[in-house]
A and B are shown apart, each in its own frame.
Chain A
Amino acid sequence: MVTIRVNDLSLALPPFHLREVTLEVAAGEYFVLLGPTGAGKTVLLECLVGLLRPDAGKVFLGDRDVTRLAPEHRGVGYLPQDYALFPNMTVRRNIAFGLKVRGAPGDRIRRKVAELADQLNIAHLLDRLPLKLSGGEKQRAGLARALAVEPPVLLLDEPLAAVDERSRDRIAGDLRELQQSTGVTVVHVSHNFEETLAVADRIGVVNQGRLEQVGTPEDIFERPARLAVAEFTRAKNIFPIAEAAPASGELARIALADGTVLRADRSANRGEPAHAMVRPEHVRLLPAAGNQPVPAGHNEVKAAVRRLVPKGALTGIECAAESGTAWFVLLPTREARRWQPGVPALLSFSPEDVHLLEREGLPQRV
């Protein structure tokens, strides 16, 4: 178990550009680098593996400055995106490779291969060639190969991307369990927000070569710092702010660009807010002329149902506010069936559920 520290790391590798990334991953932590394709996540991971050398900044593994160290001297476990199992070797020889390189004695290699094969449930695959394996099997073989040398750090590049949709949740769970049982520090690169929720202790969102926000999955989901992060978590109901009353202990008055006025809790918010965000599942949909009162102190927005978008267990309801702005509400499908397009409604949500996004380009706080 070892801490990973990255200080002011910059690397220009057109079209990618890492800009002054600073990050600390605690020993034994499962850390996910999350971001859209081309954000620079893989470049950052390859700086950790040692395949790329940064233009500026430092990388530490524990107390060791490894910035200028070749991959073979870092001792990190690495699983690239396509797993890159050596195609001319059986799974057994793939797993044994690192130990052979280190000149480990034969019986130790045999024991370790058997132990990992057992742990990862691939004992029946040991004599197969990688070509004959499914995506999930390849991933486990690749993990076993990386773990055979007992690295203190495991670096995974999109480990779930080549796994079929149905088994992804289970395999993500297995990954998490494996990390817990070995205690290895994991950095996992992903472009899929949902898959990371199940595994991550903390998430770092990378966008355009910058680390936008670091936090627990809940932080990132509920309290994204900036627009880019919010959009990446597929948040809806994000509206530009025309004027925000200064933060005091009290609820602040926020005027949106479309004229709607909301009350918001600004106590968690230090920078200057640029957008207000309300998660669709936090909005209650009430009949406009009903006898169901809006809870005291809640925001209310007059709107009309425009259409229903079923998503299986949940249904999205798109509403049009009086200003014309579209609002989204997410309801359990059974509840949503009570609503029809054209019906007037009242959107109600608590001031705590109005989350404010900071203006872009402010210095990050990690």
Chain B
Amino acid sequence: MSESPTHHGHRGGDLTFRAILSTLLFAYVGFVLAVVLADVYWLAKPAAGGSGETGFSRVLGNEDAFSEILATLRLSLVTSLITSAAAMVVAIPSAYVLSRYRMPFATVIDTLIDLPIVMPPLIAGLSLLIFFNQTAPGTALNDLLDVVYTRRGIIVAQFFISSAFCIRAVKAALDQVNPRFEDVARSLGCGKVRAFVQVTLPLAKTGLMAGWIMTWARTLGEFAPVMIFAGARPWPQEDFTAVLPVAAFLNLSSGHVEMSIAITVLMIAIAAVTLILFKKLGGKGYLW
């Protein structure tokens, strides 16, 4: 563990300076906390009219609402787990190449990997739609896989963005492992793959776990590309494609505010647990 660079001593004159800067910091942190708690407050607040009913009791007491949340959560979990697993399968070899080899056009490749991350999510969804609906290779692929406006499309939309994110996280983990370990392992008789599996992988394990968790969290929250590419078919339609954030949006726009906010609170709770896990694993950086 490295020493924290924080200064604990008090130097003359520093206190005022620190107080001014800290005020801004605390103001922002307070703002974040207030926004998060507002959702909980709103759900816990008794409705006007004195019935004593709260948002919580209305959602939990309504069988349909409860079923919708469960079904949506299930769809979100299944798709995001498949997507994040697929992203890892692509990311580990890709990140290894980026981490260990010099490549021609390295800058171009690097930029292209960042593009899905930086690209506005809505635009990502639209572009996916154009590709699979309007281009020859795209339509051929769609004929084969049937992804536009389907549940499989959820995975494709999530995968498009999450893989880029996952490659970044995995590369950060692999960069931490000195390539010399593999060199030595090879001199001791390991082939390339065995050296990677027996030496590098165990050393990168926690970094890879942290990367996977953050990829999964990011996948779970993917909204715009999923809505545009997989459609926003709401529960309880057959083969509904509304994952958690899409369901929150649909409920909000159809006036079911408490449903929307219940989903919001659920997602905030998941995000909090994810972050705690991530920090426990010593994950750093690439948290967008």
Residues on A facing B (Cβ under 8 Å): 49-51, 70-72, 74-78, 80, 82, 84, 86-88, 97-98, 101-102, 145-146, 149
Contacts and interface: CB of A to CB of B under 8 A. Distances in A.
Contact of A149 (B178, B189, B192): B189
Interface string B171-206: 000000010110111111111101000110011000
Given A80-B180, A84-B180, A71 B186 contact: yes
13 contacts: A49-B183, A49-B187, A70-B191, A74-B187, A80-B180, A84-B180, A84-B181, A84-B184, A86-B181, A86-B199, A98-B189, A145-B184, A146-B188
Nearest to B191: A72
A72 B180 CA distance: 14
A88 B202 contact: yes
Contact of B203 (A49, A87, A97): A87
Nearest to B205: A88
Max chain B CB contacts within 10 Å: which of A74, A76, A80? A80
Max chain A CB contacts within 10 Å: which of B190, B202, B203? B190
A193 to B, nearest CB: 26
A71 B192 CA distance: 10
Contacts of A72: 186-191
B165 to A, nearest CB: 27
A80 B184 CA distance: 8
B103 to A, nearest CB: 15
Given A98-B189, A101-B188, A51 B203 contact: no
Nearest to A78: B187
B30 to A, nearest CB: 41
Contacts of A49: 183, 187
A70 B184 contact: no
Contacts, number: 60
Contacts of A101: 185, 188-190, 194, 198
A145 B188 contact: yes
A324 B178 CA distance: 53
Judged by DSSP, the binding face of A is loop
A99 to B, nearest CB: 9
A16 to B, nearest CB: 13
Interface string B119-136: 000000000000000000
A82 B184 CA distance: 11
A50 B188 CA distance: 12
B189 A102 contact: yes
A360 B191 CA distance: 43
A97 B178 contact: no
Contact of B183 (A71, A75, A97, A149): A71
A80 B189 CA distance: 16
Nearest to A76: B187
Interface string B20-61: 000000000000000000000000000000000000000000
A87 B178 CA distance: 10
Contacts of B198: 101
Contacts of A145: 184, 188
Nearest to B183: A51
Nearest to A98: B188
A82 B181 CA distance: 10
By Cβ-Cβ distance, the 5 closest A-B pairs, closest first, are A98-B188, A78-B187, A84-B180, A71-B186, A101-B189
Contacts of B180: 80, 82, 84
Contacts of A70: 186, 191-192
Contacts of A88: 202-203
B187 A146 contact: yes
A276 B198 CA distance: 56
B203 A149 contact: no
Contacts of B185: 86, 97, 101
Contacts of B181: 84, 86
B188 to A, nearest CB: 4
A76 B186 CA distance: 10
A84 B187 contact: no
Nearest to B194: A101
Contacts of B187: 49-50, 71-72, 74, 76-78, 146
Nearest to A101: B189
Max chain A CB contacts within 10 Å: which of B188, B192, B194, B198? B188
